[in-house]
Structures are given as C-alpha cells and as structure tokens.
Amino acid sequence: MANAEKHWLVRPQTITLLWRLFIAILVATVIAERVVHLHPHFGFDGWFGFHAWYGFLTCAAMIFFAKGLGLLIKRPDTYYGDQQ
C-alpha cells in the first residue's frame, strides 16, 4: 500500500519517530532518579534504575517462561471440538 493511503499513525516515518520518542522517555525516566528523591523500603530498590531493569528483566523472564510452557500445553483451538 502506498504511503499516502496508509493512516498517518502506521507510516514507517511515524513509527521511527515514535520509537525515538519512546527511547527518549525511557532514558528520561531513569535519569530523573538523579533529581527525584526515592525512599526505598528494602535497600535494593534504591539501586540506580532498579525499577527499569527489574521491569524489563522480569517481563523478559515471563515471556520466556510462557513460551516454554506453551511448548507443553498449547493445542490447536479445535482441540475440545466445541470451540467457536
């Protein structure tokens, strides 16, 4: 489909722009820790950028776990016969 026909939000230029904006915001939220005073409960949650990398790594772990479990428990959606 030609660019002109595509909705402006899904044109490649817009998507590149959105990615750049997103990364800028990500960086900003981490750098802001220098300005905002954190009050950690446990100690480790005061490490620099803790919530950023903890969020990313646990999500990656959940996706991998789901993928692995999927190998075991995924079935075609006609498995029980009465679906859809």
Judged by CB under 8 A, the residue of 17, 21, 29, 47 near another protein is 29
30 is an interface residue for another protein by CB under 8 A = yes
Choice between 20 and 51, CB closer to another protein:
51
| Phi and psi based region of residue 3 (left: phi greater than 0; alpha: psi -120 to 50; beta: remaining) | alpha
Q: CA 66, CA 72: separation in Å to the nearest integer?
A: 10
The single residue among 21, 24, 47, 54 that binds another protein, judged by CB under 8 A, is 54
Closest CA to 29 of 6, 53, 9: 53
Binder among 17, 21, 24, 69 for another protein (CB under 8 A):
69
The reply on whether position 84 binds another protein by CB under 8 A is: yes
